[in-house]
Structure 1
Amino acid sequence: MSHPTVALIAGLAFVLALAGCKPQSAEPDAEPDRVRLAEVGIVTLRAQAVVITEELPGRVVAWQTAEVRPQVSGIVQRRLFAEGSEVVEGASLYQIDPAPYNAAYDSAVATLQKAEAAVPGAQARFERYQHLVKQNAVSKQDFDDAVAALAQAKAEVATAKAAVEAARINLDYTTIKAPIGGRTDRSSLTPGALVTAGQTGLLTTIRTLDPIFVDVIQSSTNLLTRRHVIESGRLKVNGSHVAVKLKLENGAAYPLAGKLEFTEANVSASTGTVTLRAVFPNPQRLLLPGMYVRAVVEEGVAPGTFLVPQRAVSRNTKGEAIVMVLNKGGEAEERVLSVIRSVGNNWLVDAGAREGDRVIVEGTQYVRPGQKAVGAEVVIDQTTGEVLGKLPPPRRAAAPRAER
């Protein structure tokens, strides 16, 4: 190899050695040697008037129920209604053979006519003796007998009239009528059956379905708590009208709202519950007696309160409800809340929270009181209580590269 070539190779090696000793330049996306602030999801609190509701179990009860029984004995000739149909009050349901009762009525009428026929003669005798006794033409005893005969004749007329009325009532009872309007059940007998007055067996049952009642069960503890909250002013009630909504057995919402009628003044000794009765319109007959439902009772309105997501609330060693909020300086601080009750996936708070508080609902594990954090407003799904679009965990600072 020639001398100039060796010199050229030696020069190139020296240049490469110098290049290898220089520190590598920082990459364009290299991070500075510092720790980034934690990123947390926040919800800004706003004071509002919150409608307080309570969901309670209940059963549907007919507005009116009538058990149809015969009031006279006899053979049923006809059934005059369609089973399961709607009937009006006074509609004919069954026809009992009226022949013996027609005869009894006619006999009573004849007895009345006979009694009425005896009255004029007794009246005339009384009037005649009344004048004669003043002239001493008849004895006082004869006059007394005339007075008694007239009174007896009138009494017999009254007795006969009562017998006629009783016979007429029994004759009317041969047509069994609906005591109330409503829907009929199936018939327990067919034409040709023998029925007796006052029998224990039912002929059918009629239930009034519009309107209809719903009996709701509430614990006495919750009832006392509600009264205490109302008396303390934390819950406002709009008059005596308490709105009630229903959820049906299949989970569907009943389309018509009802109202609370009354609360029983009795607590069950076995269950410790109180029965509340609500009334609902039922024009489509969708609600039937015996159905199990869930009643959403509107208890009142809590003014100037806050709804804090339950996912943001924890408990301290004293058992107090606490949340983490970001103050104006971006530092996390701990707050103790006064919780009234749960509302869906939120806690209803009347103390400890302020207008505009930025409550941390996502990422509380990355911050401690006094630490700074970066807050991003998020939206809470009110159905599930979950954050819509969860934030990723905070990124950590990259480790510095070592020089070569």
Structure 2
Amino acid sequence: QFRGAQAKLNTAKAQIQMTRAKIGSAQALTAEASIPLQDTVLTAPISAVLMQRRVEVGTFIAPGTTGFVLADTTSVKAVFGAPDISIKNFKLGDPLSITTDAVPGTESSGHITRISPSADPASRVFEVEVTIPNPQNLLKPGMVVSLLVAEGGTTVEIPVVPLTAIVRSKDNPNNYAVMVIEDQGGQQIARLRNVTLGEALGNTIAVTSGVNVGEQIITTGATLVVDGEPVQVIP
């Protein structure tokens, strides 16, 4: 009887070991199956603003495909071009301030964090990057800003406009102009105004004369507007 009981005990222990092995195998299969499931969920590594969405629900994509473009806007960067005669006035860490018509009455301060070691072969200017804290998220990516640049002991505010705002001058086709919105008797009128252009950088260009900081200009469809034509500003 003792031997029979011992044999049953050994058999029960063996069955327990087999059951534990099956449980371990099932757990491993479950963990392996959960990996593809986890890969179907994209989690942002930081708190950020969604800039671009490149995939849609149900789209078949290859490994490594970019699904979304995120931006951390707690600090933003403003980039401008400095000619060779002025680049010596800028040093890493120097403070600079910017303003933008999109946030009137607000001046944001930052510091120079990068100066290009060589000039752009097309524009012949040196790219200077200013990093600006943006804790209230007032500054948005793509905004056009004006920089307060100290040069020769004076501070000069440089208006910068999109290239799409530039049209040919009516007086001289070799010169340039912009459509400025003027208020006349409570009505907004488009006026063609000749301007002198400065350095271009990317999709923007500096205006050295003809436009004052804070004036409204037509940036899209300027070639379709006639000088003196009433317009309506759409916020």
TM-score exceeds 0.5: no
**TM-score (ref. length: structure 1):** 0.28
**TM-score (ref. length: structure 2):** 0.45
Structure with greater helix percent:
1
Asked which structure has the greater CA Rg, the reply is 1
Q: Report 1 or 2 for greater relative contact order, CA contacts < 8 Å, sequence distance ≥ 6.
A: 1
